[in-house]
Amino acid sequence: MLKILKYSFYDLMRSRWSYVYFLFYLILGFVLLFLNNDVDKAVITLMNIIIVLTPLIGTIFGVMYYYDSKEFTELLLAQPINRKKIFMGQYLGISISLTLSLLLGLGIPFVLYGLFKSAAIFNFSLLLVVGSFLNFIFVALSYNIALSTENKIKGFGYAILMWLFLAVIYDGIFLISLVLLNEYPLDKFSLVATMFNPIDLSRILILLKLDISALLGYTGAVFRKFFGTNFGMLISMGVLVLWVILPVFRMNLKLRKKDF
């Protein structure tokens, strides 16, 4: 598995897209800090970008890589190697290389601008952790879609739809249900609803460390009590881990039966 991981990883590292992705974050980080010169505020802006863009890039990369390397994968499958190892190697290769681009691309400018001296270091690391999680989650989800869909175009379509659903449509439905069910106590409902969407969950996690915590107090103690404590933080992190594990598990399940 390690060999395949290494192969996928180097393959992606050599590809232009990883560099583009890395450079994008690098420039973004520098520009943000140059314009703001305040690490605190830059973290807020970054959050907006990370929770939308990281899932999108993860999704597209995952699907793209699967279909692109399909022939090579089939070649590998002809060898006496465990299927699981091949795909897990590929999956980890993509996720790790994407995460590395994210960490380095954003880390370098922030470190250069004196992150270690700033109080924002915790918020920033949380941002990076959440970003990494989103990478792993969405690559896994897109691999699931790609494995289940033979047709490349369809696969891409579903993957994008999945992203669109989680990033935009889900929130829309969420909001509408909140407005429609206005008469009912909705605190627990919204708490649970955020758990079912990794993007929402990441957003709330970061927001609570930033500016929303004051506002959430208004909404009802349930939210602040839950997310504000270490226990809530632990649970949310646990849910994010689950969001990685479940798709990976399903991927393996699918692999066992799939006829290549």
Partner 1 sequence: MKYKILLFLFFISVAVAAKQIVVCEDCGIKSIKEAVRIANDGDEIFIKKGIYKEQNITIHKSISLIGEKGAIIDGEYKGGGLIFEANNFKIKGIKIINISTSYTVEYAAIKVVKVDGFIIDGCILEDVFFGILIEKSKGGIIRNNKISSNRKGEAGSGNGIHIWSGDKMEVYNNEMWGLRDGIYFEFVKNSTIYKNFSHNNIRYGLHFMFSNNNVYHHNEFRNNGAGVAVMFSKFIVMHHNKFRLNWGSASYGLLLKEIYDAEIYDNLFEQNTIGLNAEGSTRINYINNTFLRNGWAIKIAGACYANIFLHNDFMSNSLDLSYNSNVNDNKFDNNYWSEYNGYDLDKNGIGDVPYRPVKLFSYIVNKTPQALVLLRSLFVDIVNFSEKVSPVFTPDDLMDNNPLMKRIND
Handedness of CA 55, 99, 194, 248 (dihedral sign): positive
Determine how many CB atoms are found less than 10 A away from the CB of residue 134.
29
Least Cα distance to 112 among 20, 33, 220 occurs for 33
- Which amino acid does the sequence have at 28? L
Question: Of 121, 129, 178, 233, which lies in the binding site for partner 1, with binding defined by CB under 8 A?
Answer: 178
- Pair of tokens at residue 138: 């969405």
The nearest distance, CB 240 to partner 1, in angstroms, is 17
Residue (of 190, 143, 189, 136) closest to 162 by Cα position:
143
Q: Which of 190, 232, 240, 248 binds partner 1 (CB under 8 A)?
A: 190
Length of the chain measured in residues = 260
Q: Does 242 bind partner 1 (CB under 8 A)?
A: no
Q: Please report whether residue 48 would count as binding partner 1 according to CB under 8 A.
A: yes
Residue range at the interface with partner 1 (CB under 8 A); choices 7-15, 72-80, 117-125, 166-174 = 166-174
Spell out a b/e string for 101-132, using b for 16 or more CB atoms within 10 Å of the CB, else e: bbbebbbebbeebebeebebeebbebbbbbbb
The answer to whether residue 214 forms part of the interface with partner 1 (CB under 8 A) is yes
Find the part of the chain contacting partner 1 (CB under 8 A) among 6-14, 134-142, 212-220, 244-252.
Answer: 212-220
Q: Smallest distance, Å, CB 172 to partner 1? A: 5
With binding defined as CB under 8 A, does residue 196 bind partner 1?
Answer: no
Instruction: Write down the least CB distance from residue 234 to partner 1, Å.
Output: 20
Integer Cα distance of 194 and 75 in angstroms: 42
Q: Is 256 exposed, middle or buried (0-12, 13-18, 19+ CB in 10 A)?
A: exposed
Q: Which is nearer to partner 1, 217 or 238 (CB)?
A: 217
Judged by CB under 8 A, the stretch of 67-75, 96-104, 208-216, 236-244 that binds partner 1 is 208-216
- Binder to partner 1 among 128, 145, 216, 251 (CB under 8 A)? 216
Selected from 22, 61, 65, 223, the binder of partner 1 by CB under 8 A is 223
Cα angle value 203/167/231 (rounded, 5°): 30
Residues that bind partner 1 (CB under 8 A): 41, 44, 47-48, 51-52, 167-172, 174-175, 178-179, 182, 186-187, 189-190, 194, 199-200, 203-204, 207, 211-221, 223
